[in-house]
Amino acid sequence: MTPTLTISRLTKRFQAVEALKKVSLTLQPGKRAALLGHNGAGKSTMMKIILGLIPFDSGEVSVCGEAPGSAAARMQVAYLPENVAFHPALTGEEQIRHYLSLRGENPRIAPELLARVGLAHAARRRIGTYSKGMRQRVGLAQTLIGRPRLLVLDEPTSGLDPVSRRDFYDLLDGLSADGTAILLSSHVLTEVEARTDSILILSGGQLVAEGTLADLRARAALPIMLLVRPAAAHAAPLAAAFPEAVVGADGLLRISCAQAEKLPLLARITARGADVADFDVIPPSLEDIYSHFSRRDGQ
């Protein structure tokens, strides 16, 4: 299968600052990748290069098999910035009809696109009356024009309420199932943790980690937390059996262990039988993993 996006040894310098340092990655059709990094890590620079907005110094970039910024690439790529701007005097439907006309598409499908992003009820209201979240959804409707093969999304859920964020990711799931590749930059790690196929972590212009969440957990080898709830009147003997545990004010025993120690520890817990009412295994979160790889690069 030909990758939708291929980047090989990409380097970009702004005078004395090397914004990207030999970055390489691929994004296959239908896959969703989360691009993570602190401010100044190189995320925006990479997105601008993919979109053909700025040149790069060395390396290779292929967008849907074409040069970034070429007419052929632009016809297959859609972009949603963090802060969208539309004419406040136009209605949502008028704005989308305008963009459809620019792309040579049928303007009559504007209501359908707005309905897909939850704006059917406000399609004929002026955009100047929209909330930030509603304007963001107009931007998302715009990205759906022409069935793009690659979506580049920069903080796309900015301004959306929790329900709208859930609906947004449901929409991305559908686009992904249809073969659209998605590159999504976000600081809301809890959102992307469960709704992307791979994680890309940029730090200081370098791609310091790439893979599935399970892959990165294995590489980071961060400790696992086990929360053990004692059965009624069994707190004391259970705490005595696990002297390494920290007993919280809620009565739960918190035991941290390395990945290799998890199964033996679980065996010890289950062996306590009636002393244990319940337990949970808490793996390292994406935030923990992100912090680990970013700090490793000295950031």
Which DSSP string corresponds to 49-88?
A: HHTTSS--SEEEEEETTB-TTSHHHHTTEEEE-SS----T
Q: Please report, for the chain, the start and end positions of each structural domain, with discontinuous segments joined by +.
A: 5-218, 223-283
Q: What is the pLDDT of residue 239?
A: 93
Question: CA separation (Å) from 19 to 56, 202, 222, 261?
Answer: 10, 10, 29, 40
- Burial of 267 by CB count in 10 Å (0-12 exposed, 13-18 middle, 19+ buried)? exposed
Profile the chain (299 residues) by mean pLDDT over runs of 10 residues. Answer: 93 93 96 92 94 96 96 93 90 96 94 92 96 88 92 86 84 91 89 89 94 91 94 93 93 93 94 94 91 68
CA angle, residues 76, 130, 127, in degrees to nearest 5:
65
**Cβ–Cβ contacts within 10 Å for residue 136, how many?**
25
3-state helix, strand, coil in the chain (%, to 5): 40, 25, 35
Q: Which CATH architecture has domain 5-218?
A: 3-Layer(aba) Sandwich (3.40)
Helix (H, G, I), strand (E, B) or coil at 180: coil
CATH topology of domain 223-283: Alpha-Beta Plaits (3.30.70)
Helices (H), the chain: 43-50, 71-74, 92-102, 110-116, 132-143, 162-177, 189-195, 213-220, 235-241, 262-271, 286-296
Give dist(CA 141, CA 117) in Å, integer: 6
Nearest to 9 by CA among 62, 68, 53: 62
Q: What is the pLDDT of residue 297?
A: 47
Q: Half-sphere exposure of 44 toward its Cβ, with a 13 Å CA cutoff?
A: 7
Same topology, domains 5-218 and 223-283? Answer is no
Q: What is the pLDDT of residue 298?
A: 45
224 phi and psi, to 5 degrees?
-100, 145
Nearest to 29 by CA among 172, 176, 150, 181: 181
